[in-house]
Amino acid sequence: MFPKIPIISKEIEAYITDLLGENITSKYFNNISTPMEEYTLHVYKNEKIIDEILQTLQRNKFQASVHREYSNLIICSPNGPFKLDSQSNLKKIVVDTKASEMIYQGADVYVPGVKRANKVKQGDIVQVVNQQNIHVANAEAQMSQKEMLENRKGLAAKNLQSPYVVPSVEQLNLDNLPIYFQSFPAYLASLNLEPKADERILDCCAAPGNKTIHLSEIAGDKARVVAVDRSKNRLRKLSEKIDKFRIKNIEITSGDIIELSKKWNIKFDKILIDPPCTALGLRPRLSINTTKEAIKSMSRYQKAIFHACNELIKPQGEVIYSTCTISREENEDVITYANEKLGFETIEQRYRHSDYASVVEDSKYPVQRFIPGIHKTLGYFIAKMRKI
For the annotated catalytic residues, the residue numbers are 324
CA-based nearest residue to 90, from 40, 129, 57, 51 = 129
Name residues whose C-beta falls within 8 Å of residue 185's C-beta, 6 or more positions apart in sequence. Answer: 322, 324, 354, 368, 370, 377, 378, 380, 382
Interstrand relation of 91-95 and 125-130 (parallel, antiparallel or unpaired): parallel
Contact 27, 373 (CB under 8 A): yes
Please name the residues in contact with 143: beta carbons below 8 A apart, sequence gap of 6 or more: 111, 122, 151, 154, 155, 156, 157
Beta strands in the chain (DSSP E): 7-8, 39-43, 64-66, 73-76, 91-95, 109-110, 114-116, 125-130, 135-141, 155-161, 179-181, 200-203, 224-229, 250-254, 268-273, 287-288, 313-323, 344-347, 368-370, 380-387
